Structure 1
Amino acid sequence: MQLSPRAPGFVANPYPAYAAIHRHGEAVFWEEYGHWCFAGYDIVNLLLRDKRFGRQITHVASRAELGLAEPAPHLSAFDAVEAHSLLELEPPAHTRLRTLVNRAFVARQVEQMRPEIATLADRLIDTFIADGGVELLSRYAEIIPVTVIARMLGIAEDMAPHLLDWSHRMVRMYTFARDEAVEIDANAAARDFASFIRDEIAQRRANPDDDLISLMLTRSARDGEILGDDEIVSTAILLLNAGHEATVHQIGNAVATILEFGLCPRAMFADRQTTALAIEEMMRFDPPLHMFTRYALTDCEPVPGVSLRKGETIGLLLAAANRDPRRFPDPGNFIANRTEGTHLAFGAGIHFCLGAPLARLELQIALPALFARLPSHPRLATTPQRRDAYHFRGLTELQLVWDQ
């Protein structure tokens, strides 16, 4: 398949391309990426869990053996953060670190945050409800998740602009055909972000509290484990980056879907049950993460006709899997009460999104609150423009207007 991830038509709407892949099979060699990609629901679900694949590769083979270049000096700070990231680790390191962090994100723990998230959403809506319009991403969608994660980590809320800036610059590293300027800027952001978190760690070590950074310092000792500062830095940055980037884009994508398709928020968000179903369909229909890559840890043939050598990359097209007609009938149609099965927007296997319960809760609060509070059904002031940032699908801005 030859298709630039930066082609304007694809950026605006990748789903026709996914549909074409489904018509011809479940795997395609994507020329621009130079590796095989998988789009079928069953195979993507399987490969997310398959222990023959992983996010790391140098733990089973040397760079020389794989023909990989040595790490770039101008990315040393960024690579140092990634070296201990849960998203990039494999067992046993991944198991150990995730076990220590997971307790803060289990559903019953997260549910206790419902009142404060609802209060935050209402407070933000109060700041623009009388204006007759708003740029929703910067005034609402960004602020909710970054504030919630900052509170969990015990970071002052007035640091949010800096956290967002560092995060946005680091996440650009995952865009297609990035240039050296992006890399240098991402490295600088990673260096400053890490320095800030190290200062936070020092403060908690001197004066522990009940926040997540303190717990990462104290629980490790209680469990007989030692979490190093580098691990805590990487984990805190991952939680801040992943904890708001995906949710911001999912809120934006969901609001755009509702307005572009003329859906009825009152019916979708009538109660917690209908809201929960509608949110799951939002994530299936237009999720923020479209590709998740893994390395082949051994020579293998995951599907007939696709032979992989150890060290090769594969792309798992999560959003395409969510539109697989063999799994989801009429996949291009938004069905608020769809019950065919679980989508893959959060991934699967050991790298299933740690923050999924929190992301679900934020969406279940933020979207109903917005449509319930605005004085009339909002409208799009301009056509939403998509970010040129595949694998992450989101909007550059979302301008809404409404009658007073």
Structure 2
Amino acid sequence: MMIPPFLSIDAAARRVSLDASNPAFYSNPNAVYAALHAHCPTFYWEQQKQWYFTGYDHVNGLLRDRRFGRQILHIATREELGMAEPLPHLKNFDLAERHSLLEIEPPEHTRLRTLVNRAFVSRHVEKMKPEIAELANRLIDEFQHKGQVELLSAFADVIPVTMISRMIGIPEEMGPQLLKWSHSYVRMYMFGRTRHDEDAADQAAAEFADYVKTVIRERRANPRDDLLTHMITTERRGQYLTDEELVSTTIVLLNAGHEATVHQIGNSVRAILESGHSPEDIFKDDAATERAVGETLRICAPVHIFQRWALEPAEIDGVSFQRGDKVAMILAAANLDPTKFSDPLAFKPDRQEAPNLSFGAGIHFCIGAPLARLELNIALPILFRRLPGLKLSRAPEVKDVYHFHGLNKLELAW
């Protein structure tokens, strides 16, 4: 396997030098992942000053390993860990994240997730099929006659934010504002974030939280049949969610419920069009559609990295970790492990090998996975069926960030 010129691998020392801001990397990370699998699947990333795992079994195992967690301040103090104090200019962001399902561990995580999980189980989400199909068709009606479209703004941006808003009980007309807040918010998770990114994220968190609080007050006065009312009124062992927990949970559900799916719709359409496979064959029936959607999630996942704290001493693949060390798993690279997937860089719509890890695994497995899969399974076949002859009208424009992988623009014609 060729090593790209911008990637330096010392396989013997398991050291890798890679500038994540290099367009050659973030525009085509799969080529780098293939080289890492060939030469150094477990490595210390010099620029990030941290250990990374790309092997499928290691990533899958770490996601489930209770010696590692998303949170560590529940078992150790900042002073014990030598951790810096919180930054004052991020106080609103930190407050919004304090009770995030993505950032907490049991027992708090168990209590919050149990309260929310019922709305996202497959049998409840399946009821949204007609709504997703109606929305997808209505959006296509608006641009079908034009013979061309920028798909993200006209289609991919709209479906996930509309569906998660309906589920939670947020007015659909808030969609554009939710997208703005979300885009600012998630910049905090990108490599190479700037002070400007941090200030924008903190402002977004403050405005987002204030808005959610107004909706909570309104819903307490006028309960409805929606997830927010359910979270407000449901108790578990005599406890209700606090306002802070309600705000954090609502924000994480809105962000996670559309940000990654927007990317995945664009990534999936691009992968299908560039593959040369016939959409008629790819989407010939429900089973074929499900396999093809799984393959797009495998080969062009929207979220590439999850990190964990070592909660106790542990050794993984010969690397020793002490309590307080951070470790990272590249989910998108694990999806390309040649020991699990034949010809891993190829898009094979009928592939039936190992499950992809794009939604994670273990207790932090993506709670919105059934909804995201359903949106993809419904919206993609409708798009290709309604627009026969669909093709790229110009090269897709990849977002200039890592480790969220998506497009800025996807210009199509038919």
Tell me whether the two structures share a fold, i.e. TM-score over 0.5: yes
Q: What are the residue-to-residue correspondences of 1:59-98 with 2, within 5 Å?
A: 59-98=74-113
Q: Which residue of 2 aligns with 1:31?
A: 46
SS of the residue corresponding to residue 119 of structure 1 reads helix
Matches within 5 A, 1:223-234: 224-234=238-248
Hey, what does 2:173 align to over in structure 1? 158
Q: TM-score, normalised by structure 1?
A: 0.97
For residue 261 of structure 1, report the CA deviation from its aligned partner: 2.1
Q: What is the distance in 2 between the residues matched to 1:220 and 1:269? A: 43
> In structure 1, how many angstroms separate the alpha carbons of the residues matched to 2:127 and 2:157?
21
Equivalent residue, structure 1, for 2:413: 401
Which one of 244, 259, 269 corresponds to residue 258 of structure 2? 244
Equivalences for residues 1-400 of structure 1 within 5 A: 1-220=16-235, 224-304=238-318, 306-374=319-387, 376-400=388-412
Q: Give the partner amino acid of 1:393.
A: H
Task: Give CA-to-partner distance per residue, 1:103-150, whole Å, 9 cap, x none.
Answer: 000001100110111001000000100111111001100100000010
Q: Distance in 2 between matches of 1:325 and 1:364?
A: 26
In the TM superposition, what whole-angstrom CA distance separates every residue of 1:361-397 from its partner, at most 9, and x where no partner exists?
Answer: 00001100100011x3112121112112211100011
Equivalent-residue separation in structure 1 for 2:194 and 2:287 (angstroms): 45
Question: CA offsets, 1:326-363, max 9 Å, x none?
Answer: 01111111111111121100000000000000000000
2-side partners of 1:337 and 1:25: how far apart? 29
Distance (Å, rounded) in 1 between the aligned partners of 2:233 and 2:75: 32
CA displacement 1:24-72 (0-9 Å, x = unmatched) = 2431101111100000000100000001100001111111111111000
Partners in 2 of 1:220 and 1:144 — Cα distance?
31
- Amino acid of the residue matched to residue 181 of structure 1? H
Q: 3-state SS of the aligned residue for 2:198?
A: helix
Aligned 8 A contact 1:26 1:43 in 2: no
User: Which amino acid in structure 1 is aligned with residue 356 of structure 2?
Assistant: H
- My pick for the range that moved more, 44-53 or 23-32, is 23-32
* SS of residue matched to 1:32: coil
Contact 2:149/2:412 (<8 A) preserved? yes
Cα offset for 1:15? 1.2
Q: What is the DSSP-based 3-state SS (H/G/I as helix, E as strand, rest coil) of the residue aligned with 1:134? A: strand
2:233 touches 2:240 (CA, 8 Å); kept in 1? no
Q: Take 2:193 and 2:341, find their aligned partners in 1: how far apart are those partners?
A: 34
Contact 2:132–2:163 under 8 Å retained in 1:
yes
In 2: Cα distance, 1:66 partner to 1:390 partner: 27
Letter in 2 for 1:61: A
Secondary structure of residue in 2 paired with 1:2: strand
RMSD: 0.9
- Tell me by how many angstroms 1:220 deviates: 2.1
In the aligned structure 1, how far is the partner of 2:399 from the partner of 2:75? 36
Matches of 1:330 and 1:118 in 2, distance apart? 34
TM-score, normalization by structure 2 = 0.95
Distance 2:252 2:311 in 1: 24
8 Å contact kept, 1:27–1:40? yes
Work out the CA distance in 2 between the residues paired with 1:55 and 1:178. 20
Secondary structure of the corresponding residue to residue 102 of structure 2 = helix
Between the aligned partners of 1:220 and 1:315, the Cα distance in structure 2 is 35
Distance in 1 between residues matched to 2:240 and 2:119, nearest whole Å? 18
Identity %: 56
Note the alpha carbon deviations across 1:85-108, whole angstroms, 9 max, x for none.
000010000000000000000001
SS of alignment partner, residue 21 of structure 2: coil
| CA distance, structure 1, for counterparts of residue 128 and residue 282 of structure 2 | 23
Offset at residue 219 of structure 1 (A): 1.3
Runs of 4+ deviating beyond 6 Å: none
Q: Which runs of 5+ in 1 are unaligned?
A: none
Give the Cα–Cα distance (whole angstroms) in 2 for the partners of residues 225 and 205 of structure 1: 16
